[in-house]
């Protein structure tokens, strides 16, 4: 399933994501040498409709077309078939960012092959590049609390999210081997996001090593993902459909990365439908009562929380989740403990 090559496929730097299948027929691991031999692992198109990673890497490789890369790069190109259709994933496919914890499917075996090969090459760091579909700032996600992960994250910006679930992500799998971050770079196709990621990747490539010093307190705002909110598969939902069992408030994505007060309305429920929102904490336990109240056919926050990843895209909500809930984290105290 996985194609592994040691040179850039012809035409790679100029092809659009929807046409990438004509250059690479499927998931590919592309190793390119550089002055520092330990490679920077960069994954793009784990979700086929999140194109900033591809366009940014193409821009970077064009810049260094006629000169040596400052550091070796191992580029993993993920769901090429979904990219061809402009979709996150195709029907029947697994989510390519949920295959990294082992298993016997073709995609899970492929992910383990990628991980083993990068360990053998003494990978320097892992950068998994994503977009999102709602109004979110640019931010980095880490799954480990240590200075090297923080240094990698704050190189992208001061907003950092600490998330330990799901454990099936690329970020989580690599974090046991090297510093690993997920970059959330806003909506796809935006010049601001592409420019930000480009500057980040170039800065990573020019690092001879990651600093051992702690990140300064004023350089990082750390938020801890404490719960995942989902729409039950059997229940209809929407934003304006009066017959939907769950009717989400309009412009719900405006709540992303805002500290939302207790009592904030999130959804109205069709009377008699028995509808509700699922809430699961980091350990997979039902946490609905901890974060939401449900009365008078309304769902409201039970405590102050900060959502992320809220979107108006109903297909994305159905495929993935409605949102994550975060709490501000005193990371300095946690590091001293």
Residues 278 and 133 in one domain: no
Q: How many separate domains does the chain show? A: 2
Residues 184 and 233 in one domain: no
Residue 198 structural domain: 3-219
Q: Which of 219, 247, 270 lies at the terminal end of a domain, its last residue?
A: 219
Q: Which of 190, 219, 248 lies at the terminal end of a domain, its last residue?
A: 219
Residues 155 and 190 in one domain: yes
pLDDT in tens, 33-88: 999 999 999 999 999 999 999 999 999 999 999 999 999 999 999 999 999 999 99
13: its two tokens? 């730097």
Q: Residues near 275 by Cβ (< 8 Å), separated by ≥ 6?
A: 232, 235, 245, 246, 269
Residues 277 and 311 in one domain: yes
Q: What percentage of the chain has pLDDT greater than the value 70? A: 99
Mean pLDDT of 297-323: 94
Residues 103 and 246 in one domain: no
Residues 99 and 206 in one domain: yes
Beta strands in 113-178 (DSSP E): 125-130, 139-142, 159-162
pLDDT in tens, 218-265: 889 999 999 999 999 999 999 989 899 999 999 999 999 999 999 999
Residues 190 and 273 in one domain: no
pTM listed for this prediction: 0.93
Model confidence at 137: pLDDT above 90: yes
- CA 237 to chain CA mean position, Å: 24
Residues 247 and 103 in one domain: no
Model confidence at 12: pLDDT above 90: yes
Model confidence at 334: pLDDT above 90: no
Q: Which of 163, 187, 219 lies at the terminal end of a domain, its last residue?
A: 219
Separation CA 152–CA 147 (nearest Å):
9
Alpha helices in 68-156 (DSSP H): 80-85, 106-120, 147-154
Computed over every residue of the chain, the mean pLDDT equals 95
- CA 295 to chain CA mean position, Å: 34
Q: How many CB atoms lie within 10 A of CB 104?
A: 6
Matching residue, tokens 């092809």 = 15
pLDDT given for residue 336 in this prediction: 64
Residues 241 and 172 in one domain: no
pLDDT in tens, 79-96: 999 999 999 999 999 999
Residues 192 and 233 in one domain: no
Sign of the C-alpha dihedral, residues 157, 163, 166, 170?
positive
Matching residue, tokens 């240094």 = 151
Residues 214 and 243 in one domain: no
Residues 168 and 41 in one domain: yes
We report the CATH number of the domain holding residue 157 as: 3.40.630.10
Nearest to 92 by CA among 79, 111, 109, 104: 79
Alpha helices in 13-132 (DSSP H): 52-63, 80-85, 106-120
Find the range with the poorest average confidence among 141-145, 186-190, 214-218, 313-317: 214-218
């Amino acid at each position: 399933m996985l194609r592994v090559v040691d040179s850039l496929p012809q035409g790679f730097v100029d092809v659009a994501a929807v046409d990438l299948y004509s250059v690479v027929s499927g998931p590919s691991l592309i190793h390119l040498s550089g002055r520092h031999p330990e490679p920077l692992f960069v994954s793009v198109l784990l979700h086929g409709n999140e194109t900033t990673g591809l366009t940014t890497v193409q821009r970077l490789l064009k810049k260094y077309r006629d000169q040596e890369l400052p550091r070796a790069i191992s580029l993993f190109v993920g769901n090429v078939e979904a990219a061809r259709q402009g979709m996150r994933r195709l029907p029947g496919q697994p989510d390519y960012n949920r295959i990294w914890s082992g298993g016997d499917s073709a995609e899970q075996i492929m992910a383990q092959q990628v991980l083993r090969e990068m360990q053998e090459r003494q990978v320097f760091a892992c950068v998994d590049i994503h977009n999102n579909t709602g109004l979110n700032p640019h931010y980095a996600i880490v799954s480990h609390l240590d200075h090297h992960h923080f240094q990698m994250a704050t190189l992208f910006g001061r907003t950092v999210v600490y998330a330990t679930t799901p454990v099936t992500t690329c970020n989580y799998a690599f974090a046991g081997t090297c510093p690993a971050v997920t970059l959330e770079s806003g909506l796809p196709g935006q010049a601001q996001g592409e420019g930000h990621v480009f500057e980040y990747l170039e800065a990573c490539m020019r690092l001879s090593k990651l600093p051992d010093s702690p990140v300064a307190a004023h350089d990082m705002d750390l938020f801890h993902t404490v719960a995942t909110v989902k729409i039950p598969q059997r229940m209809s939902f929407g934003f304006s459909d009066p017959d939907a069992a769950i009717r989400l408030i309009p412009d719900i994505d405006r709540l992303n990365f805002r500290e939302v007060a207790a009592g904030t309305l999130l959804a109205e429920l069709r009377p008699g439908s028995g509808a509700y929102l699922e809430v699961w904490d980091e350990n997979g336990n039902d946490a609905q009562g901890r974060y939401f109240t449900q009365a008078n056919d309304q769902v409201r926050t039970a405590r102050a929380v900060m959502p992320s990843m809220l979107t108006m895209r109903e297909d994305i909500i159905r495929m993935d989740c409605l949102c994550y809930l975060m709490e501000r984290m005193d990371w300095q105290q946690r590091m001293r403990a």
